[in-house]
Structure 1
Amino acid sequence: MTQTAVELVDDLGAVDPSDWDGLAAGNPFVTHAFLHGLHATGCAVRRTGWQPTYLIMRRGGRLVGAMPLYVKAHSRGEYVFDHAWAEAFERHGLPYYPKLLCAVPFTPVGGPRLLAASHEDRVLLARAAIEVARQAGVSSLHVLFPREDDRRALREAGYMMREGVQFHWRNAGYADFDAFLSAMSHDKRKKIRQDRKKVAQAGVGFRHLRGKAITAEHLDFFYRCYASTYANHWSRPYLNPEFFSLWHEAMPDAWLLIVAERGGEPIACALNVIGGDTLYGRYWGCVEFVPGLHFETCYMQAIDYCITQGISVFEGGAQGIHKMSRGLLPVPTWSAHWIADERFASAIADFLERETDGMNQYLDELESHTPFKAPLG
């Protein structure tokens, strides 16, 4: 019988990219290039509170499973909020950090987290990660935004599940953008048309740049916009220019840059990522304020692109009930959690049961306020 071996690696450069990507299921955010780029450019490293400790599983010397694991010294850049849990630990004189996290840094996008071809191997990975957490003596282990196949394995391995919500747009086979608007209720359709008209009357036009059509000059402008969004919130960007340059060089076809221009000069842009049949809205910024520009650049232009290109889903990022008025509907998201201390595990399990009931009621309420004339099938 071929032996299965598990090891930890702190440098993804030690793993063959083609072997890794063979397990990534085509998701752009768990590719070797994306994850290794975060480490190689100093964005997700020990100094920033993201210490790579990747779980690698081999059978007969062949890579058959992996988890993007990090030792975390804080909870920033995760988009699943556990600060109340950390405070509860501290009130009882117990350290919550470091903790062990399986996630894509700074990226609230669902996808594979237990990278393996079979359910059995996904369960093995989930259980191996718990053993790593036990041996490391950390307070807890968390898996953020796992896909459905992973969730089944995580439940089987004993993790607790936590429900959240995001807002995604789904293509109902619209012939064009007007057909999409026609499916919406009168007031929502009218508001979108009014907002789009204001942007057009301000003299703003748009360009959709894909792949290698995105130049170094475009990248420089994008980063200026990206950084300004953080500066406007008195914060600092998680990602540096070197990462975006390396990412674009490695995966140009995954990039869609929507650039807003006025008088021949760029004034705003939004970076979207294409993966399979999904467009992921990721980063946005502007250097000039125009009423309605944010919604038009980030959502309406992205939806128009999906309709034109026949893309099925547009994910608009974390949070944002305001997105419903633009046709993005609520969908549940998930995270999985293992807590070392049985007392806290019991308390958190009780909390999660009550939180899930509340979240399901919230989702039902949101769905009753659909922006469409009739619920989409």
Structure 2
Amino acid sequence: MHPLPTPSGHSRIIARLHSAISEIDAHAWNTLLAQQKQPTPFMRHEYLLAMEQSQSARPENGWTACHLCLWDAQRLIAACPLYLKSHSWGEYVFDFAWANAYAEHGKAYYPKALVAPPFTPAPGTRLMAQDDTTRTWLLQTLSQWCNEQGLETAHILFLSEQDRQACTQQHWLIRQGVQFHWHNAAPGTDQRFASFTQFLESLQGNKRKKIKQEMRKVADAGIEYRTVQGKAITSADWAFFYRCYERTYLEHGNSPYLSPAFWKDMQHTMPDHWLLFIAQSKGEPIACSLLALHDQSLHGGSENIAYGRYWGALARVNSLHFDLCYYQPIAWCIAHGYDRFEGGAQGEHKLARALLPETTYSAHWIADGPFQAAIGRYLERERKHTQDYAHHLQAHSPLKAMPLTK
């Protein structure tokens, strides 16, 4: 635990850096998280603790924890998961070109400061605070600390609208990206879909026909599904999931970011946040898809959200990926009253499955004036391309065109 200078004019407020999330009271952290407008499971104390205790995020692989908190006496009033990074892997907002530009000019881009849960590109609150003023204090304290440490850059990834407004007011550079999300809203109404059939009817005929064909191919191959949630996910189910998860990474020539110990911690400390779809052939599991869940009635926020996280298969079946990763989760969300299913980044193939483009944001503090100006100009050009890309995707929406009202 490292004390930092007090926010100007507020002698009661104490700023501290914590070299491990275990130094911070879990109840205080999670209570503050639940008060935010966009909490996610990935900001929970248990999730971050598992990252550290399982050695999935550790200094040796480039993640040095230095979580920033503001305390009013013994009360936690603001906090963010802060890491010193020695590389840019596992972030999903790509700044390798920036690092190369710094190196070409003889400047050290690393270490850099990063605010985000490791390996998790899911939008949500990053700057937890009791109010907007406290959020500004937190951001100012972060910038001051980066200056004192001689850091060149700091980055807040996949942030919420509240966070984005705070960063804009403090003159951080804002970067846009695109993900694909499905919304449980019947077109032209404010009502959720009553059934998967009604959802299919909201699609253009050719898209609806394609989805039905893909689902039929999986059924004709004799595939059946077993859906398990929370504590009903057994140790054997988790072990099978890890086999699939690991294989997906190995097939792409990479090692998995998250260790078996991390998932064991998830089984025991956050079981209710996980939903597992297991595909079976002749009674034997061959593939699975894991979703994270946020229930606003239990954990705050304004939406019930399912997050598509990982999938893997030990055998190949035509169209199984689409059914297991998109159609089964969408059907589950409709049946259980979930408002949104986030399919994550990359892949225009998601658009044909009714996951529509959503703009995501990150914020970037650049210490060097000329570099800040140059990166700012780059982001202006990139923002135009990103917006054009999103508009192009929207023009190819699979949803039926709504009739014009007179």
TM-score, normalization: structure 1? 0.98
What's the offset of the Cα at 1:374?
A: 2.1
1:375 & 1:268 partners in 2: Cα distance?
37
Secondary structure of 1:24 counterpart:
helix
What's the offset of the Cα at 1:24?
A: 1.4
Q: Which amino acid aligns with 2:273?
A: A
1:363 & 1:58 partners in 2: Cα distance?
41
What's the offset of the Cα at 1:191?
A: 0.7
Q: CA RMSD in A?
A: 1.1
Inter-CA distance 138–258: structure 2 relative to 1 (3 Å threshold): same
1:61 & 1:306 partners in 2: Cα distance?
40
The equivalent of 2:276 in structure 1 is 257
What's the offset of the Cα at 1:280?
A: 0.4
Matched, 1:281 2:329: no
Structure 1 moving runs of 4+ over 2 Å: none
The equivalent of 1:4 in structure 2 is 13
**Partner deviation per Cα, 1:320-360 (whole Å, 9 max, x = no partner):** 21100001000100000011111100000111111112211
**Which of 342, 367, 375 lines up with 1:340 in the alignment?**
367
**Which of 33, 53, 57 lines up with 1:24 in the alignment?**
33
Secondary structure of 2:109 counterpart:
coil
The equivalent of 2:48 in structure 1 is 35
2:177 & 2:77 partners in 1: Cα distance?
30
Secondary structure of 1:107 counterpart:
coil
Q: Which amino acid aligns with 2:103?
A: E
Matched, 1:224 2:243: yes
Secondary structure of 1:196 counterpart:
helix
Secondary structure of 1:85 counterpart:
helix
TM-score, normalization: structure 2? 0.91
**Which of 186, 201, 204 lines up with 1:182 in the alignment?**
201
Secondary structure of 1:23 counterpart:
helix
The equivalent of 1:134 in structure 2 is 147
What's the offset of the Cα at 1:2?
A: 6.1
Secondary structure of 1:259 counterpart:
strand
Matched, 1:118 2:118: no
The equivalent of 1:13 in structure 2 is 22
Matched, 1:58 2:71: yes
What's the offset of the Cα at 1:285?
A: 0.3
**Partner deviation per Cα, 1:139-158 (whole Å, 9 max, x = no partner):** 10000001111111111122
**Which of 85, 95, 111 lines up with 1:98 in the alignment?**
111
The equivalent of 2:7 in structure 1 is none
The equivalent of 1:202 in structure 2 is 221
What's the offset of the Cα at 1:132?
A: 1.2
1:127 & 1:366 partners in 2: Cα distance?
37
2:317 & 2:140 partners in 1: Cα distance?
51
1:117 & 1:194 partners in 2: Cα distance?
50
Mean Cα displacement is larger for which, 87-96 or 230-239? 87-96
1:56 & 1:9 partners in 2: Cα distance?
8
Q: Which amino acid aligns with 2:231?
A: K
| 8 Å contact from structure 1 (residues 2, 60) kept in 2 | no
The equivalent of 2:261 in structure 1 is 242
Q: Give the unaligned 5+ runs of structure 2.
A: 1-9, 186-191, 296-303
What's the offset of the Cα at 1:317?
A: 1.6
Matched, 1:321 2:358: no
What's the offset of the Cα at 1:9?
A: 0.7
**Partner deviation per Cα, 1:294-337 (whole Å, 9 max, x = no partner):** 11111110000001001010001222211000010001000000
**Partner deviation per Cα, 1:25-48 (whole Å, 9 max, x = no partner):** 342110000001100110011011
What's the offset of the Cα at 1:5?
A: 1.1
Q: Give the unaligned 5+ runs of structure 1.
A: none
2:30 & 2:71 partners in 1: Cα distance?
15
**Partner deviation per Cα, 1:35-75 (whole Å, 9 max, x = no partner):** 01100110011011010011011012311111100000000
| 8 Å contact from structure 1 (residues 227, 236) kept in 2 | yes
**Which of 130, 137, 150 lines up with 2:163 in the alignment?**
150
| 8 Å contact from structure 1 (residues 2, 59) kept in 2 | no
Matched, 1:46 2:65: no
2:222 & 2:193 partners in 1: Cα distance?
27
2:398 & 2:316 partners in 1: Cα distance?
27
Task: Report percent identity of matched pairs.
Answer: 44
Inter-CA distance 130–286: structure 2 relative to 1 (3 Å threshold): same
Matched, 1:77 2:90: yes
Matched, 1:214 2:226: no
Matched, 1:107 2:120: yes
1:130 & 1:375 partners in 2: Cα distance?
47
2:130 & 2:198 partners in 1: Cα distance?
39
1:31 & 1:287 partners in 2: Cα distance?
31
Mean Cα displacement is larger for which, 18-27 or 262-271? 18-27
2:195 & 2:225 partners in 1: Cα distance?
17
What is the aligned length?
Answer: 376
